[in-house]
Amino acid sequence: MKGFEELRTIKLEDDKVIMIDQTKLPHRLEFYECYTPEQVAEAIKKMIVRGAPAIGVAAAMGMALGAKLAAKNGRNVREELERVGKMMIGTRPTAANIAWAVNRIMKLTKENSDDKLLKLITREVNLMAEEDIERNKMIGVYGSKLIEDGDVILTHCNAGSLATVGYGTALGILRKAREEGKCFRVMACESRPALQGSRLTAFELKEDGFDVSLITDSMVGYVMSNSRVTKVLVGADRILSNGYVFNKIGTYQIAVLANRHNIPFYVAAPSSSFDLQHNYDEIEIEERSYDEVIQIGGVKIAPEGVNVLNPAFDLTPPELITAIICEKAIIYPPYDKNIRLTLLEK
C-alpha cells in the first residue's frame, strides 16, 4: 500500500466519485463508488467518508455529479444544484466545511451563464481538492515550528490524510516535523464511540512508520499526570471567530486536563473550517445512532433498553487553547481579534 502521505481519500472521475471506505479500515482498504449525489450524501452520513475537510470536498463532488446528471437528463442544472446543496448541508450539521463547499459552488451559479457552468463546476471541485492538500501542507509548515525533539504529542480522533483529501491537518504537522528531522512520539486516543483514533489514526501513523502508542480515552489524565505528554495537537470541525472550537467528542475534557497539567493545547484546521458568522449556541451538535455506543464491532456491550447519549462533537472554549494553526499562520490569543485579522487579510 502507498504511504498515507500520498494517498487520496476522495476523487472525482467522469461519472463517479471514488472514496476510501473508512468504515472498513483498518482491516481492509476498499474503495467505494458513488454515481449519484444521493449516494454521496449517504456515504457522508454513514461516515464512509468522514473528517471535516474531506466531507466538504465530498459534498462539492456530489454537486458536480448532480449537475452533470441534470444536464444529461435535460433538467435544470441550477435547480438541481440548489436541491443537492441543501441535501448535502443536511447530512452532518457540525462541521463548517460542507456549507463552505456548497456556498463556493453556488457562487459559480450566480456569476456564470448556463453554457459555462458544467465545465466550471468540475474545474472548481478539482481545485478545491488540490487546495485542500496545499493548505494542509502549509499548516504543516507553520505547525512544525511548534514541535521539538523529544516531544510526546497526544492527538484525538483522526485529523490525518483520511480526514482530508490528503496529507492531513494535525497529522500533516507531524509529517512535516518528521521531514525536518525532529524526533517525537505520538499518543493516539481511541476516540470512542466510532473509534477514529484506533481504527484510523493509529493505522495511518503506524503504516507511515511513526512511533505511535494507542491509549483509551480514559487514560488521558494518567498519561498527562505522569509527565508523558508534552503537547496536545488536534483538528477541528468548526472554529468560530472568537476561538471556540467544535471537535470530536472528548476534545473538551482533554483540553481541561491539558490546562490542569500546563501542557500546550494546539488546534490545526484550514480556513474552510472557520465560521466567522455564527455564535456557538447557533451550531447543532450532531447526535448519532445509539448503536455506536451500545455496540463495538457489532457486538452488544450494554444492557438491553439502557438510556444512551451520543453527541458526536463537543465545544472547547478559547481560554483552553494555546494556539490555532491554519494555512496562513499560527494564531495566538486574543482570538476574537486575531482570527479575523489572519483570515481576512489579503
Applying CB under 6 A, the residues found at the interface with ligand MRU are 50-53, 157-159, 163, 169, 196, 234-237, 247-248, 312
Identity of the residue, 68 or 175, whose beta carbon is nearer to ligand MRU in the bound complex:
175
Least spacing, CB of residue 325 vs ligand MRU, in Å: 12
Identity of the residue, 70 or 274, whose beta carbon is nearer to ligand MRU in the bound complex:
274
Least spacing, CB of residue 22 vs ligand MRU, in Å: 8
The C-alpha cell that represents 307 in the structure block: 438510556
Beta strands in 35-82 (DSSP E): none
Q: Contact 271/248 with Cβ under 8 angstroms? A: no
Catalytic residue among 132, 151, 208, 237: 237
Least spacing, CB of residue 258 vs ligand MRU, in Å: 15
* 3-state secondary structure at position 77: helix
The C-alpha cell that represents 240 in the structure block: 468560530
Give dist(CA 153, CA 174) in Å, integer.
Answer: 9
Q: Is 114 a catalytic residue?
A: no
Measured in whole angstroms, the distance separating CA 10 from the mean position of its chain's CA atoms is: 13
Identity of the residue, 43 or 67, whose beta carbon is nearer to ligand MRU in the bound complex:
43
Identity of the residue, 77 or 258, whose beta carbon is nearer to ligand MRU in the bound complex:
258
Q: Contact 174/154 with Cβ under 8 angstroms? A: no
Q: Name residues whose C-beta falls within 8 Å of residue 87's C-beta, 6 or more positions apart in sequence.
A: 37, 38, 41
Q: In the chain, what are the helix, strand and coil shares in percent, each to the nearest 5?
A: 45, 15, 40
Least spacing, CB of residue 222 vs ligand MRU, in Å: 22
* 3-state secondary structure at position 304: coil
Q: Annotated catalytic sites, by residue?
A: 237
